[in-house]
Structure 1
Amino acid sequence: MGLKELVKRAELPHGSQWINEDVRPVEAERRTWTFLAYHNFWLLINCNIATYLTGSALIPLGLTWWQAIIAIVVGNFVATGALLLASMAGAYYHIGFPVFSRAVWGIWGSQFTIWNRIFLSFVWYGFQSWVGGQCLYLMLLSWDPKLEDHIPNHIPADTGMTTAQFVSYFIFCIVSLPLLWIRPHRLQNFFYFASSVTIVFFIVLLIWALATMGSDGFGATLDSENVLPLTGGPNSVAWLMVYGIMSTVGSIAAGILNQNDYARLSRRPMHAIYGQAVAFPLYGILASIIGILVTAATQKRMGGEAVWNPPTLFVRLLENDNTPGTRAALFFSGLALVISQMGSNLPGNGLAGGIDLASVFPRWLNIRRGAYITAILSPIVNPWRLVNTATTFLTVLSGYGVFLAPMTGLMVSSYVIVTKQKMNIDDLYVGNKDSLYWYNSGINWRAPIAWIIGVAPCLPGFIAAVSTSVTVPAGATELYYLNYLYGFLSSALVYWALHAAFPDKRLAAWVAESPDAKTLQREYQEKWDMIDAPHLEEIAAGHPQTKEPKTTTSQSGLMAKWSPIATRPPPEGAPPLGNTPSEATLATPVSQEAARIDRATRVAGARRPAGLVCQSSPVEAPSNPRVPVVSETSPFQDDAELPSPSGSEQPRGDSVSCPVPEPSDGDGSSSIGLSPLQIQDYAVHALEDLGDRTSHCLGLAAEQDTYFLNAFRSLILDEQNEVDAKIIQVTNGGPLPHQHPLHFLLLLNGFPEHTDNALAAASDNIEAIVGPHGPALIRLFFTHVHPVYPVVSKVRFLRRYAEAKLTLPASLRGAVYALACVFWRFDKSLPLPRPFEQHQLISEAHSSLRRELEAPNLFKLQACMLLLHLTPPAIDSVETPHTWTLTAQATACAQMIGLHQDPTPWNIATWEKRLRRKLWWFTYATDAWSSVCHGNPPHIGAETFDTALPTLEDMRFDENVPEDLFYLVDPGSRAFNVPDGYRFLEMVNIARNLRSILDCGFQVKRNMGNPESRAQLVALHGRIKEWTSFIPHCLTVGKDTENNCPLNLSYHATQVLLFRGLMSPATKEAKATPGSYLQQWLSIALSDFRSFTTFMGNVSPGALTGFWGRRKSLLPPVDVQAAYQLLEKYHQALQRLEAAKDEAALVLLRPAMLRIDSFFAQATELIKKGNEDAVASPAISM
């Protein structure tokens, strides 16, 4: 095997030159570190022998114990400030130190600072391993006090070690290797164990030293006399204290520099900030003070010698008292110190070096490989020579601060001052001139200049400290004593000044025009949470350079696979765009949003961050505004048509062009107006919350022609007509035929007294049934039901419930209560058994809804949608007819209030537009599935709506709960959860494909004989089959994603219907006819449905107790011909789940069990033996 082949085999599955799975921004499932994790991390890093020895570096220089402690305290607080500032980018954007360095130094320039940190990882890993070896040496010595005699020494004395010590070091290194396999986001359990052992050991050590000190008291270490002048040169107390402060900071300078590597793992930014702010100074000060006190307390029993190193101290104790008790204490002390050293060394140096190496060679190295390389190469630094004397140790600790402080200052200056905490995360992974951080040939020349200015003045003093033969002026020594503070501040200021005097134009323009930092942080986090490993390089590298505004961009990666025709909807309030091309593939919302925003945000000279999901801006107009064209290239050549807004023209061929209508002259009214009396109406209207009125949409077939209303509306309805109504015009229409003016009739709500009494009675009864448990049921609803089915406008509902709940429709309150009471037992504060029955609430809600729909609005439509999903009685084996009529009722309600017409160009509030789009597509999806459940034609015609598809922003609307309403929801339900939004957007995509299948093969006049219809089904099969491979990980079914079960179930149910159409007609003759559709698709169906058995195997009994919605009757794929073995496995899975003995779960499974048993009893026998009576009928029916 040649070298080239070996190198190829060493490549990582998803690695490239700039990114791999360990270098990317950390996605949600790996952001696992909380306050406690950071607390334990810094306990381990700072409660170790290196920190314990800090006093040994200060007191021998002439400082008193209290002066040393002051220096240690101040130094730790200075280091904490630097740490917090340096780790902000990691905490907020979830990127590590090497990636962040690309923004500061440039894509290629960052290599300098990364390699510096890699070298430090080798040094520190070797040093900490050597110290850990000395701790293990204690354990061996406790077993055999004559260890040095039994292991002859063959190592020269000038190395500072013996063979036995080297063997101990070697064993420690070997024992540490398995722990390097642990990924950083899984370190918490190890942290809990190691930190507990460490803090207990240090406290016990202090107690032992003080308790056994004897009457002689402390040694000379705690002598308070000053033998040095207080001021006057570098050897004065003042300057030595400054030196001590900088030494304290310098000892952890490497950890400060690369703390972004661990800050990026924070579940929330505040976890990293508070965890570090508390634990870092606390344990850095504590361990140092313990070291001083223990050394002073044991000094006199050591003959007056100050023994600073704990392993040396324990060896001396054994020499003085070789008893079983002392040997046992020695063993356990050595064990505790070994654990402490591992807890400090592995994350602080081993994994840190692995992260740095992975960023340098991401094509070949991940964190694990890099960590093992760090461990293997660490002995080359001769760590045993680093701890010979206190002076050498001090130089090793503080010297590196000369080089690291300026690097840290550059990071802070770049993030806080230059870019104002704004970062274009995508461009950090683009290694060419398209990247915002390419600067000049990949190097930001300002960074090395600023770094040199921070380093160079301190070098003479550093050299003099390392080599005593070199003499420098006192001023140089004093400046060196200030090395960290000077280097940090000078480099930060120079870096900022250079960017101010010689700005990078692209970066400056992007910072000026991009959204605020919080928006960027949120949106990049949401975007990268959706990107899976196979598409890292494709997504990150999709940055075509644009010198001029362009209206055509090609998609790459995930977008190219899933959204070849994903056009950006018009901006809010703009004229409609006319024939908007629909999406011709099963496009994921992730790719739609990324492609849409990517096109909209690339402007000349400055680019907004690509892929922002929520931040939108109008598309830049080309030079000729009369003929703009949006074109996309499709990877699919023969895509089937999906149900789309009726005003859309289906794209054909390789590209789609969408002419944007030219704004009309004059007042902007419709060009089809009939008279110059047309009325301009630019007011922002309200169609909801109208008090005693309700808005009704006036369609083309209304009593009054829309164009006449547009021209003469003030004369159409007046008091003489005796109609209690007002008319408002929400849009003037557009130049295209289907873009007609649109009006709403605002009718006065007036019910007979008996209706008002019935409504009031239903409302009172509902509240009486739930009693004081209403708020608890609201919390349960938004915890268990809303994430799966987010139809309720959360904040509007909660606000109304908190302030005047009786003004909410009784049907909506009853539906929310009824669905929530299924999860009653999950709230331990609620009494058992439940003091009321669900059917009581359902009955009252239906009673109220029948009357409420005389005055429909968005809240009442939400009630319709929720009542559809209430669990039917256990005796029902199929959908009840009532659910079909409820679907018709919901559809009628939605159409009455105009949801079937696109609100984008209307003169109404943005929030109402978002809610209308969302609710229409809830209605549409429900109608499609209801058609499948009952076998009836859909209520919504394919040409009867033009509402634009929902976006993630529509799903985000009204989801973030303000603080004053927190008491009505659980903490996990207070903020918008991105996977919940994407889950419904994917459900809409599946419903659109389902509807396409229905239109092709399951209408009353079946058109499967039409070759075009069958070709469309074949194309749908190709796309639907890939769905499970391309959905984001957060939408798969697993332990922590049980809410995704209904979505995946819907997908498999759509597969069932698709194969029924593809194998039609499934007759006895078709079975025996070579080349029939049944024979062509049978084996393919069996193969495709193996993913269904995998899905069922992943469904846990606990998942069955969650909210699934009405699609429970679609569980079994019984329509797959001859799938006996496949169904047998499925039957076993159902029997396993049925053992859950949960009422809701059994109701969910009952239809599936009945249908599956029916298949075993009838369909399989029919397939095997045939049946003369079934010749003209399908062999399998649903």
Structure 2
Amino acid sequence: MANFGGPTLLKRTLGLQADRYCQYIGPTTDFEPSLINLSSFDPQDESLLARGTLRRVSDNDTFLLLPDNNTPGYDHIFEDADEIENIVAPHGRRLIDLYFRVVHPGFPVIQKNVFLEKYERSHREFSPPLLAAVYILAINWWEHEEELAGLARPNVRELERLVRTTLADAMYRPKLSTIQAGLLLSQRPEGDQWAPTAQLVAVGQELGLHLDCTNWKIPPWERGLRKRLAWALYLQDKWGALVHGRPSHIFASNWAVQPLNPNDFPDIECDETDNEERLELERGRVLFRQMVQLSQILAEILDTFYTLQATSQIANAGPQGTQLVLSLAKPIQLKLKEWYSALPALIRMDSTFQTTPSSSSGSRFSPIGYLHLAYFATEITLHRRIIRSMSFSFSSDDGSSGSNPPIDPYIQHICRSAAKARLISAMDFVNRLTPSHLRAFWYFASKTNFALIGTFGSLLWGTSPGREEAEWYRRRLGEYRWTLSVSSKPGEGTSKGLTEFAMGMLDISTGLLKKLPEKPLLSRRDG
């Protein structure tokens, strides 16, 4: 691609070369870093060795470039790309436009101008799994595109079959497009699994996404793309750890990626858009940056309260366990409060910016819902740990029970009141969602985050000291279920799976509560 005739944004790229892939040379491999600089590097910062070509991107960071043609599946890359394009033909470009209108603003993991430049030349320039992933996601909004709504949908099952096989092949020659494809596939309603996330993190480390690329000798747009992909990978890992209840794979001690700034979102793609589209792109970028900041707070909560070491430390504190939890929670709670109060007006739920239909691009959607839902899920994750640490007992049919030592009634009241306020706010948020929110792009963790609100309500119901309070939670959970059932209507293809999953989990948790013994009446008045 460096020799491509005419102007191209792909010249001198590191992670998106057409015929080579790169491997980061770490400090403990069979390459001795202190000897690498003894190689003879040409003006392109490359040095040919028997094992491959060294590419030096900074004084401290070097990659090994290897040819694609020695990897499994290479011989049928063009054939795979053709098959994918034929499945969606003649609607390929329309689906790509739909993707960039609906998904891209709230999840900017693709370099739009580079992607469109390649597509204008040929679909064969794409990594097959990335091309298929873009189509698979865009098809979720098929019915919302006026020119597509009345037509038969492409064969999504066949696209998914192709993306599974081609992504497995791409893992042998990893590029930035491999990470992009994996991240996009994880955003499907049923696409999130923990094991592929672990594999994506490993591939990201192979590509050096965990490093600080600020001063690397690569195109400026690739530096921005690398940072966005690195943080998107961070999000995938941290939210995956939350929703699956698994240990995170990314640690602060091996994470040098710098915070995102406006320059990491090139303005080139805005040149030909109107003011409304520019505002929507800007909102998406602000949204993504805020999601990164929120996820760093979530990571702190997971590290502080939910690792095996943290769980053991709290358990070993005995009667002082709740006090320990509260002391650890206070500074994190302040961070969450500051984060929320500092949210830019552009992405607040009461923002004056309204998404309205446009004659040129059809209906617009507001993706800010997934960020606000993630905020409530983060609050709930913190308060769940506080409530769990307090005195309560669950008895099963065989009479066995688990309990903690009793805690001061006043502290218990304060903690439960704070938890109740968070639950009310979360439920009210869901009740305020509009069709423009529900039909928009939702981050993969949203499905579980909707369910966590119900799980939290069930926890508060089950730990209620008296019948009146328990009855209050029972009624509110019934109302929440009704809200979820109503919310599934407007979005159908996009929101239906989110809310149906949450309703199913709510039915399971409230069903378990029926096995609790009846609670005592703490007041003569009805609750």
Same fold flag (TM > 0.5): yes
Question: In the alignment, is the contact (CA less than 8 A) between 2:106 and 2:285 conserved in 1?
Answer: no
Distance 2:276 2:337 in 1: 34
The residue aligned with 2:505 is: 1155
Distance 1:932 1:751 in 2: 38
1:777 pairs with 2:101: no
User: Residue deviations 1:993-1012, cap 9 Å, x none?
Assistant: 11111101111333452787
What does residue range 96-175 of structure 1 map to in structure 2 within 5 Å?
Answer: none
Amino acid at match of 1:906: W
The residue aligned with 2:183 is: 865
1:1098 pairs with 2:432: yes
User: Residue deviations 1:140-167, cap 9 Å, x none?
Assistant: xxxxxxxxxxxxxxxxxxxxxxxxxxxx
* SS of equivalent to 2:287: helix
The residue aligned with 2:495 is: 1145
* SS of equivalent to 1:728: strand
The residue aligned with 1:950 is: 260
Question: In the alignment, is the contact (CA less than 8 A) between 1:762 and 1:847 conserved in 2?
Answer: no
1:1030 to 342, 366, 383: 342
Amino acid at match of 2:508: S
- Rate the CA distance shift 1:1098–1:946 in 2: closer, same or farther, 3 A: same
2:248 to 906, 913, 938: 938
Question: In the alignment, is the contact (CA less than 8 A) between 1:959 and 1:974 conserved in 2?
Answer: no
Q: CA deviation at 1:1043?
A: 1.5
Distance 2:110 2:371 in 1: 18
Structure label with greater radius of gyration:
1
Question: In the alignment, is the contact (CA less than 8 A) between 2:81 and 2:124 conserved in 1?
Answer: yes
What does residue range 668-817 of structure 1 map to in structure 2 within 5 Å?
Answer: 686-711=13-38, 722-723=50-51, 725-732=52-59, 741-751=60-70, 755-817=73-135
User: Residue deviations 1:441-498, cap 9 Å, x none?
Assistant: xxxxxxxxxxxxxxxxxxxxxxxxxxxxxxxxxxxxxxxxxxxxxxxxxxxxxxxxxx
1:1089 pairs with 2:431: no
Question: In the alignment, is the contact (CA less than 8 A) between 2:481 and 2:506 conserved in 1?
Answer: yes
Structure 1 unmatched runs, 5+? 1-683, 733-740, 873-879, 1171-1182
User: Residue deviations 1:1099-1154, cap 9 Å, x none?
Assistant: 12453222112121111322254251443332231132234482432211111101
Distance 1:823 1:860 in 2: 24
- Rate the CA distance shift 1:1154–1:766 in 2: closer, same or farther, 3 A: same
Higher-RCO chain (CA-CA 8 Å, sequence separation at least 6): 2
Q: CA deviation at 1:1166?
A: 3.5
What does residue range 641-656 of structure 1 map to in structure 2 within 5 Å?
Answer: none
Q: CA deviation at 1:854?
A: 1.4
Question: In the alignment, is the contact (CA less than 8 A) between 2:16 and 2:177 conserved in 1?
Answer: no
What does residue range 813-962 of structure 1 map to in structure 2 within 5 Å?
Answer: 813-830=131-148, 832-872=150-190, 883-954=193-264, 956-957=265-266, 960-961=269-270
User: Residue deviations 1:101-131, cap 9 Å, x none?
Assistant: xxxxxxxxxxxxxxxxxxxxxxxxxxxxxxx
Q: CA deviation at 1:838?
A: 2.1
Q: Which consecutive segments of 4 or more residues in structure 1 shift more than 4 A?
A: 711-714, 970-976, 1010-1014, 1075-1080, 1167-1170
* SS of equivalent to 2:307: coil
User: Residue deviations 1:241-279, cap 9 Å, x none?
Assistant: xxxxxxxxxxxxxxxxxxxxxxxxxxxxxxxxxxxxxxx
Sequence identity (%): 26
The alignment's C-alpha RMSD in Å is 3.0
Amino acid at match of 1:987: M
Question: In the alignment, is the contact (CA less than 8 A) between 2:57 and 2:217 conserved in 1?
Answer: yes
The residue aligned with 1:990 is: 294
Q: CA deviation at 1:805?
A: 2.2
User: Residue deviations 1:1013-1060, cap 9 Å, x none?
Assistant: 753422111231354433122212256473210111111111111112
- Rate the CA distance shift 1:863–1:1167 in 2: closer, same or farther, 3 A: farther
Distance 1:889 1:1077 in 2: 44
Amino acid at match of 2:200: A
- Rate the CA distance shift 1:688–1:976 in 2: closer, same or farther, 3 A: farther
Question: In the alignment, is the contact (CA less than 8 A) between 2:103 and 2:441 conserved in 1?
Answer: yes
The residue aligned with 2:333 is: 1021
Distance 1:996 1:1165 in 2: 35
Amino acid at match of 1:1099: L
Question: In the alignment, is the contact (CA less than 8 A) between 1:766 and 1:810 conserved in 2?
Answer: yes
2:456 to 1104, 1108, 1119: 1119
Amino acid at match of 1:1104: L
Question: In the alignment, is the contact (CA less than 8 A) between 2:80 and 2:166 conserved in 1?
Answer: yes
The residue aligned with 2:381 is: 1057
* SS of equivalent to 1:1109: coil
* SS of equivalent to 2:416: helix
Distance 2:501 2:149 in 1: 31
Distance 1:913 1:997 in 2: 30
The residue aligned with 2:484 is: 1134
User: Residue deviations 1:802-829, cap 9 Å, x none?
Assistant: 1222111111111111111111112222
TM-score normalised by L of structure 2: 0.79
Amino acid at match of 1:1100: T
Amino acid at match of 1:1031: L
- Rate the CA distance shift 1:992–1:1004 in 2: closer, same or farther, 3 A: same
Q: CA deviation at 1:897?
A: 0.8
The residue aligned with 2:398 is: none
Q: CA deviation at 1:1075?
A: 5.2
TM-score normalised by L of structure 1: 0.37
User: Residue deviations 1:15-36, cap 9 Å, x none?
Assistant: xxxxxxxxxxxxxxxxxxxxxx
- Rate the CA distance shift 1:776–1:1078 in 2: closer, same or farther, 3 A: farther
User: Residue deviations 1:185-211, cap 9 Å, x none?
Assistant: xxxxxxxxxxxxxxxxxxxxxxxxxxx
- Rate the CA distance shift 1:802–1:726 in 2: closer, same or farther, 3 A: same
Q: CA deviation at 1:971?
A: 9.0
Figure out how many residues of one structure are paired with residues of the other and give that number.
460
Amino acid at match of 1:1056: I
Amino acid at match of 1:805: H
Question: In the alignment, is the contact (CA less than 8 A) between 1:960 and 1:975 conserved in 2?
Answer: no
Distance 1:939 1:904 in 2: 23
- Rate the CA distance shift 1:689–1:1151 in 2: closer, same or farther, 3 A: closer
- Rate the CA distance shift 1:996–1:958 in 2: closer, same or farther, 3 A: same
Q: CA deviation at 1:938?
A: 1.0
* SS of equivalent to 2:254: coil
- Rate the CA distance shift 1:1079–1:1149 in 2: closer, same or farther, 3 A: same
Distance 1:831 1:757 in 2: 37
The residue aligned with 1:1074 is: 408
Question: In the alignment, is the contact (CA less than 8 A) between 1:762 and 1:845 conserved in 2?
Answer: no
What does residue range 137-286 of structure 1 map to in structure 2 within 5 Å?
Answer: none
Distance 2:133 2:288 in 1: 20
* SS of equivalent to 1:900: coil
Q: CA deviation at 1:941?
A: 2.2
User: Residue deviations 1:974-1000, cap 9 Å, x none?
Assistant: 787221111000000111011111101
Question: In the alignment, is the contact (CA less than 8 A) between 2:109 and 2:225 conserved in 1?
Answer: no
Q: CA deviation at 1:722?
A: 3.8
Distance 1:1082 1:946 in 2: 39
Distance 1:1156 1:1071 in 2: 29
Distance 2:443 2:327 in 1: 32
